[in-house]
């Protein structure tokens, strides 16, 4: 019950805070981008492995030099499998305020960096990740199609599947052909 109330209050405060947010986005594709950020909910080792595989793909196939994946673990503490590595960092419930606003070193470091592309890997509305999406200095923000949060993204994909791998395939496809110079 309290979680639902906190979520509603957090969303309302976030919308109010960011409704006048004005930013100038710039379109990047996977050929022109030098840096990519990923945000996602890390709710299993399997999902973490999918993200690691995608990070490797972006580096090896597209030559992305600067890459960071920030995962939210919806638990009080980070599980053993969610330990920070070179391209991966995590935050958990202990890093959230009462209204689900994230803080902590991982979040501050992530939001202080400027990335060419930020890819939100979550279809569901996860308040801490929405805060990070809005606070990010990334120039081209990509996410699932949503009427409610459409103004937070520069490019949205209407993918019916809820499988992350299907979504990643669509992101790769469109970020390979968008704004491509012949």
Question: Do the domain assignments include residue 182?
Answer: no
Question: Do the domain assignments include residue 43?
Answer: yes
Question: Do the domain assignments include residue 108?
Answer: yes
To the question of pTM greater than 0.75 for the whole model, the response is yes
CATH code for position 172: 3.40.50
Distance CA 64, CA 58 (A): 6
What is the residue range of 169's domain? 2-177
Of the CA atoms within 13 Å of residue 40, those in its CB half-sphere come to 27
User: What is the predicted pLDDT for the residue at 39?
Assistant: 99
**Cβ atoms 142, 154 nearer than 8 A:** yes
Question: Do the domain assignments include residue 155?
Answer: yes
Question: Do the domain assignments include residue 168?
Answer: yes
For residue range 99-126, what is the model confidence (pLDDT) as tens digits? 899 999 999 999 999 999 999 999 988 9
For residue range 130-167, what is the model confidence (pLDDT) as tens digits? 999 989 999 999 999 987 766 788 999 999 888 999 99
Domains held by the chain: number: 1
Distance CA 149, CA 159 (A): 16
């Amino acid at each position: 019950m309290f979680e639902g109330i906190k979520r509603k209050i957090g969303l309302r405060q976030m919308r109010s805070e960011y409704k006048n947010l004005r930013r100038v986005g710039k379109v990047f594709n996977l050929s022109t981008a030098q840096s990519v950020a990923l945000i996602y909910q890390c709710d299993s080792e399997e999902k973490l492995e999918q993200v690691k595989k995608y990070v490797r793909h972006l580096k090896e196939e597209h030559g992305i030099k600067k890459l960071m994946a920030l995962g939210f673990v919806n638990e009080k503490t980070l599980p053993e499998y969610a330990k920070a590595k070179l391209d991966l960092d995590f935050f958990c419930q202990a890093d959230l305020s009462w209204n689900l606003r994230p803080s902590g070193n991982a979040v501050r470091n992530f939001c202080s960096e400027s990335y060419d592309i930020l890819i939100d890997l979550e279809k569901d509305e996860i308040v801490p990740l929405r805060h990070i999406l809005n606070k990010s200095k990334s120039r081209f923000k990509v996410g699932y199609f949503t009427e409610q949060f459409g103004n937070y993204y520069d490019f949205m994909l209407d993918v019916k599947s809820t499988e992350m791998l299907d979504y990643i395939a669509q992101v790769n496809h469109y970020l390979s052909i968008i704004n491509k110079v012949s």
